[in-house]
Protein backbone atom coordinates (compact mmCIF):
# COMPACT_ATOMS: atom_id res chain seq x y z
CA UNK A 1 0.00 0.00 0.00
CA UNK A 2 1.34 3.44 -0.93
CA UNK A 3 1.94 5.68 2.08
CA UNK A 4 -0.22 8.80 2.30
CA UNK A 5 1.56 11.95 1.13
CA UNK A 6 2.49 14.69 3.62
CA UNK A 7 -0.18 17.31 4.23
CA UNK A 8 -0.28 20.97 5.22
CA UNK A 9 -2.49 21.56 8.24
CA UNK A 10 -3.74 24.73 9.91
CA UNK A 11 -5.09 25.16 13.44
CA UNK A 12 -6.64 28.44 14.60
CA UNK A 13 -6.54 27.34 18.22
CA UNK A 14 -8.76 28.81 20.91
CA UNK A 15 -6.25 29.73 23.64
CA UNK A 16 -8.60 28.97 26.54
CA UNK A 17 -9.53 25.42 27.54
CA UNK A 18 -12.90 26.27 29.07
CA UNK A 19 -14.20 25.45 32.53
CA UNK A 20 -16.66 23.05 34.11
CA UNK A 21 -19.45 25.55 33.48
CA UNK A 22 -18.23 27.13 30.23
CA UNK A 23 -17.14 25.15 27.15
CA UNK A 24 -14.04 26.23 25.25
CA UNK A 25 -14.41 28.46 22.22
CA UNK A 26 -14.30 26.97 18.75
CA UNK A 27 -11.03 26.10 17.02
CA UNK A 28 -10.89 26.29 13.24
CA UNK A 29 -9.21 23.36 11.47
CA UNK A 30 -8.11 22.87 7.85
CA UNK A 31 -5.96 20.39 5.94
CA UNK A 32 -4.55 20.64 2.40
CA UNK A 33 -3.17 17.93 0.16
CA UNK A 34 0.07 18.30 -1.80
CA UNK A 35 -1.77 20.16 -4.58
CA UNK A 36 -3.43 22.65 -2.22
CA UNK A 37 -6.87 21.08 -2.30
CA UNK A 38 -8.81 21.42 0.94
CA UNK A 39 -9.38 17.88 2.24
CA UNK A 40 -11.24 18.94 5.38
CA UNK A 41 -12.35 22.25 6.90
CA UNK A 42 -14.19 22.16 10.19
CA UNK A 43 -14.35 23.23 13.82
CA UNK A 44 -13.73 21.55 17.19
CA UNK A 45 -14.05 22.53 20.83
CA UNK A 46 -11.29 21.75 23.30
CA UNK A 47 -7.71 20.55 23.00
CA UNK A 48 -8.63 16.87 23.17
CA UNK A 49 -11.00 17.20 20.20
CA UNK A 50 -8.39 19.15 18.23
CA UNK A 51 -5.80 16.49 19.04
CA UNK A 52 -8.14 13.73 17.88
CA UNK A 53 -8.78 15.53 14.58
CA UNK A 54 -5.05 15.99 14.04
CA UNK A 55 -4.46 12.30 14.62
CA UNK A 56 -7.04 11.53 11.95
CA UNK A 57 -5.60 13.84 9.29
CA UNK A 58 -1.85 13.97 9.95
CA UNK A 59 0.37 11.75 7.80
CA UNK A 60 4.16 11.16 8.08
CA UNK A 61 6.01 14.29 7.03
CA UNK A 62 3.00 16.55 7.44
CA UNK A 63 3.46 20.13 8.61
CA UNK A 64 1.10 21.62 11.19
CA UNK A 65 0.87 25.41 11.68
CA UNK A 66 -0.81 26.52 14.91
CA UNK A 67 -1.99 30.06 15.59
CA UNK A 68 -1.29 29.96 19.33
CA UNK A 69 1.82 30.08 21.54
CA UNK A 70 3.36 26.62 21.78
CA UNK A 71 6.35 27.46 23.98
CA UNK A 72 6.12 29.87 26.91
CA UNK A 73 9.56 30.11 28.52
CA UNK A 74 8.98 33.64 29.88
CA UNK A 75 7.28 34.18 33.24
CA UNK A 76 5.72 37.48 32.13
CA UNK A 77 5.78 40.08 29.36
CA UNK A 78 6.32 39.41 25.67
CA UNK A 79 8.42 36.79 24.00
CA UNK A 80 11.15 38.07 21.62
CA UNK A 81 9.25 36.64 18.64
CA UNK A 82 6.21 38.75 19.51
CA UNK A 83 8.28 41.92 19.76
CA UNK A 84 9.77 41.17 16.36
CA UNK A 85 6.32 40.89 14.80
CA UNK A 86 5.89 44.59 15.51
CA UNK A 87 9.33 45.42 14.13
CA UNK A 88 8.78 43.61 10.87
CA UNK A 89 5.09 44.23 10.24
CA UNK A 90 4.19 47.29 12.30
CA UNK A 91 4.02 49.46 9.19
CA UNK A 92 1.16 47.21 8.06
CA UNK A 93 -0.57 47.73 11.45
CA UNK A 94 0.30 44.19 12.54
CA UNK A 95 1.45 43.49 16.09
CA UNK A 96 1.25 40.48 18.40
CA UNK A 97 -0.39 39.97 21.77
CA UNK A 98 1.91 39.19 24.67
CA UNK A 99 2.01 35.59 25.84
CA UNK A 100 3.80 34.14 28.86
CA UNK A 101 3.73 31.30 31.37
CA UNK A 102 1.65 33.33 33.84
CA UNK A 103 -1.41 33.70 31.63
CA UNK A 104 -4.40 31.43 32.24
CA UNK A 105 -4.89 30.48 28.57
CA UNK A 106 -2.37 27.80 27.62
CA UNK A 107 -4.14 25.50 25.18
CA UNK A 108 -1.20 25.83 22.78
CA UNK A 109 1.23 24.44 25.31
CA UNK A 110 -1.05 21.49 26.10
CA UNK A 111 -1.62 20.70 22.43
CA UNK A 112 2.14 20.77 21.82
CA UNK A 113 2.69 18.32 24.67
CA UNK A 114 0.08 15.93 23.27
CA UNK A 115 1.61 16.13 19.80
CA UNK A 116 5.12 15.59 21.11
CA UNK A 117 3.89 12.47 22.91
CA UNK A 118 2.74 11.25 19.47
CA UNK A 119 6.22 11.82 18.04
CA UNK A 120 5.50 15.15 16.37
CA UNK A 121 8.54 17.45 16.52
CA UNK A 122 8.46 21.15 17.33
CA UNK A 123 9.84 23.05 14.33
CA UNK A 124 11.49 26.31 15.34
CA UNK A 125 12.95 26.73 11.86
CA UNK A 126 16.50 26.47 13.16
CA UNK A 127 17.14 22.74 13.63
CA UNK A 128 16.94 19.94 11.05
CA UNK A 129 14.49 17.04 11.23
CA UNK A 130 14.87 13.51 9.87
CA UNK A 131 13.01 12.77 6.65
CA UNK A 132 9.39 11.82 7.25
CA UNK A 133 9.13 13.64 10.57
CA UNK A 134 5.79 15.30 11.24
CA UNK A 135 6.38 18.80 12.56
CA UNK A 136 4.43 21.58 14.24
CA UNK A 137 5.29 25.28 14.31
CA UNK A 138 3.75 28.49 15.55
CA UNK A 139 2.33 30.87 12.97
CA UNK A 140 0.48 34.19 12.98
CA UNK A 141 -2.00 34.55 10.09
CA UNK A 142 -1.77 38.34 9.92
CA UNK A 143 1.91 38.04 8.97
CA UNK A 144 0.93 35.74 6.13
CA UNK A 145 -1.78 38.06 4.84
CA UNK A 146 0.56 41.05 4.59
CA UNK A 147 3.78 39.08 4.04
CA UNK A 148 2.97 37.67 0.60
CA UNK A 149 2.65 39.63 -2.63
CA UNK A 150 -0.15 37.42 -3.95
CA UNK A 151 -2.79 38.90 -1.63
CA UNK A 152 -1.95 42.50 -2.45
CA UNK A 153 -2.06 44.10 1.01
CA UNK A 154 0.50 46.79 0.29
CA UNK A 155 -0.30 49.31 3.01
CA UNK A 156 -2.04 47.66 5.95
CA UNK A 157 -3.67 44.45 7.15
CA UNK A 158 -7.28 43.74 6.21
CA UNK A 159 -9.74 44.88 8.91
CA UNK A 160 -11.72 41.65 9.09
CA UNK A 161 -11.35 41.01 12.82
CA UNK A 162 -11.99 43.82 15.27
CA UNK A 163 -14.65 46.38 14.31
CA UNK A 164 -13.44 49.77 13.10
CA UNK A 165 -14.18 52.07 16.04
CA UNK A 166 -13.87 55.15 13.83
CA UNK A 167 -17.22 54.26 12.26
CA UNK A 168 -20.23 55.85 13.95
CA UNK A 169 -22.47 52.88 14.84
CA UNK A 170 -22.14 49.16 15.65
CA UNK A 171 -24.14 48.39 12.51
CA UNK A 172 -21.68 50.36 10.37
CA UNK A 173 -18.74 48.55 12.00
CA UNK A 174 -20.21 45.10 11.43
CA UNK A 175 -21.02 45.93 7.81
CA UNK A 176 -17.48 47.20 7.15
CA UNK A 177 -16.00 44.11 8.83
CA UNK A 178 -18.09 41.85 6.58
CA UNK A 179 -16.97 43.73 3.45
CA UNK A 180 -13.31 43.35 4.48
CA UNK A 181 -13.79 39.64 5.15
CA UNK A 182 -15.49 39.00 1.81
CA UNK A 183 -12.73 40.90 0.01
CA UNK A 184 -10.08 38.82 1.81
CA UNK A 185 -11.84 35.60 0.85
CA UNK A 186 -12.01 36.70 -2.79
CA UNK A 187 -8.25 37.24 -2.69
CA UNK A 188 -7.66 33.86 -1.05
CA UNK A 189 -9.84 32.24 -3.70
CA UNK A 190 -7.39 33.44 -6.36
CA UNK A 191 -4.61 31.37 -4.72
CA UNK A 192 -5.93 28.29 -6.53
CA UNK A 193 -3.45 29.20 -9.26
CA UNK A 194 -0.58 30.15 -6.95
CA UNK A 195 2.49 28.15 -5.94
CA UNK A 196 1.82 26.66 -3.48
CA UNK A 197 -1.89 26.57 -4.21
CA UNK A 198 -4.91 26.98 -1.95
CA UNK A 199 -8.02 25.52 -3.58
CA UNK A 200 -10.93 26.64 -1.42
CA UNK A 201 -13.53 25.22 -3.81
CA UNK A 202 -12.31 21.65 -3.19
CA UNK A 203 -14.35 21.29 0.04
CA UNK A 204 -17.94 22.39 0.75
CA UNK A 205 -17.14 24.23 3.99
CA UNK A 206 -14.33 26.32 2.52
CA UNK A 207 -16.23 26.88 -0.73
CA UNK A 208 -19.14 28.25 1.31
CA UNK A 209 -16.87 30.93 2.72
CA UNK A 210 -16.39 32.25 -0.81
CA UNK A 211 -19.92 31.71 -2.05
CA UNK A 212 -21.84 33.14 0.90
CA UNK A 213 -21.71 36.71 2.21
CA UNK A 214 -20.22 37.22 5.65
CA UNK A 215 -22.86 37.38 8.39
CA UNK A 216 -23.29 40.49 10.50
CA UNK A 217 -24.18 38.72 13.77
CA UNK A 218 -21.07 38.47 15.95
CA UNK A 219 -21.29 34.77 16.87
CA UNK A 220 -21.90 33.61 13.30
CA UNK A 221 -19.16 35.90 12.07
CA UNK A 222 -16.63 34.52 14.58
CA UNK A 223 -17.49 30.98 13.47
CA UNK A 224 -16.63 31.98 9.90
CA UNK A 225 -13.49 33.87 10.89
CA UNK A 226 -12.05 30.90 12.81
CA UNK A 227 -12.23 28.69 9.73
CA UNK A 228 -10.78 31.43 7.52
CA UNK A 229 -7.77 31.75 9.83
CA UNK A 230 -7.30 27.97 9.89
CA UNK A 231 -7.14 27.97 6.08
CA UNK A 232 -4.56 30.77 6.14
CA UNK A 233 -2.56 28.78 8.68
CA UNK A 234 -2.75 25.68 6.47
CA UNK A 235 -1.47 27.68 3.50
CA UNK A 236 1.32 29.01 5.73
CA UNK A 237 2.22 25.38 6.45
CA UNK A 238 2.34 24.78 2.68
CA UNK A 239 4.71 27.74 2.31
CA UNK A 240 6.86 26.26 5.07
CA UNK A 241 7.03 22.95 3.18
CA UNK A 242 7.50 24.24 -0.35
CA UNK A 243 9.04 27.73 -0.09
CA UNK A 244 10.92 28.16 3.24
CA UNK A 245 12.95 31.02 1.79
CA UNK A 246 9.80 33.14 1.76
CA UNK A 247 9.54 32.91 5.57
CA UNK A 248 11.58 34.36 8.40
CA UNK A 249 12.22 32.99 11.89
CA UNK A 250 11.08 35.54 14.46
CA UNK A 251 12.67 34.97 17.87
CA UNK A 252 15.67 33.16 16.38
CA UNK A 253 18.07 34.61 18.95
CA UNK A 254 15.93 33.77 21.99
CA UNK A 255 17.12 31.23 24.54
CA UNK A 256 16.59 27.51 23.85
CA UNK A 257 13.76 25.91 25.80
CA UNK A 258 14.92 22.72 27.58
CA UNK A 259 11.42 21.23 27.79
CA UNK A 260 11.20 21.30 23.99
CA UNK A 261 14.57 19.61 23.38
CA UNK A 262 16.34 22.91 22.95
CA UNK A 263 13.94 24.40 20.44
CA UNK A 264 13.32 28.14 20.63
CA UNK A 265 9.98 29.93 21.01
CA UNK A 266 9.79 31.18 17.43
CA UNK A 267 7.12 32.29 14.99
CA UNK A 268 7.62 31.34 11.35
CA UNK A 269 6.25 34.20 9.28
CA UNK A 270 6.11 34.94 5.54
CA UNK A 271 7.94 38.16 4.77
CA UNK A 272 8.61 40.51 1.89
CA UNK A 273 12.08 42.10 1.71
CA UNK A 274 10.95 45.24 3.57
CA UNK A 275 9.55 43.14 6.43
CA UNK A 276 12.72 41.22 7.21
CA UNK A 277 13.90 41.69 10.79
CA UNK A 278 17.64 42.05 11.34
CA UNK A 279 19.08 38.71 12.46
CA UNK A 280 15.97 36.73 11.48
CA UNK A 281 16.99 33.94 9.08
CA UNK A 282 14.76 31.94 6.79
CA UNK A 283 13.83 28.56 8.26
CA UNK A 284 15.86 25.54 7.26
CA UNK A 285 14.28 23.46 4.50
CA UNK A 286 12.38 20.42 5.71
CA UNK A 287 13.89 17.08 4.71
pLDDT tens string, the chain, 287 residues long: the values are: 456 899 999 999 998 887 777 888 999 999 999 999 999 999 999 999 999 999 999 999 999 999 999 999 999 999 999 999 999 999 999 999 999 999 988 999 999 999 999 999 999 999 999 999 999 999 999 999 999 999 999 999 999 998 889 999 999 999 999 999 999 999 999 999 999 999 999 999 999 999 999 999 999 999 999 999 999 999 999 999 999 999 999 999 999 998 888 899 999 999 999 999 999 999 999 97
Helix (H, G, I), strand (E, B) or coil at 272: coil
Residue 263 DSSP code: B
What is d(CA 261, CA 26) in angstroms, rounded to the nearest whole number? 30
Rounded CA Rg of the chain: 18
116 dihedral zone (left: phi>0; alpha: psi -120 to 50; beta): alpha
- pTM score, two decimals? 0.97
The gap between the terminal CA atoms of the chain, to the nearest Å, is 23
What is d(CA 283, CA 269) in angstroms, rounded to the nearest whole number? 10
Amino acid sequence: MTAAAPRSIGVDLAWGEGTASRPPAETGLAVLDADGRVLDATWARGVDAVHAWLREWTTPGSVVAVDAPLLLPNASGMRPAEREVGRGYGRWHVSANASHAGMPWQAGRRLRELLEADGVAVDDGLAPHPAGTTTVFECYPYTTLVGVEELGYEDRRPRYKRPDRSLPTPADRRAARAVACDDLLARLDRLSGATPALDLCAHPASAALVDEASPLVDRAYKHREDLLDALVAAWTAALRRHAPGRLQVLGATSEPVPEARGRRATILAPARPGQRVAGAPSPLPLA
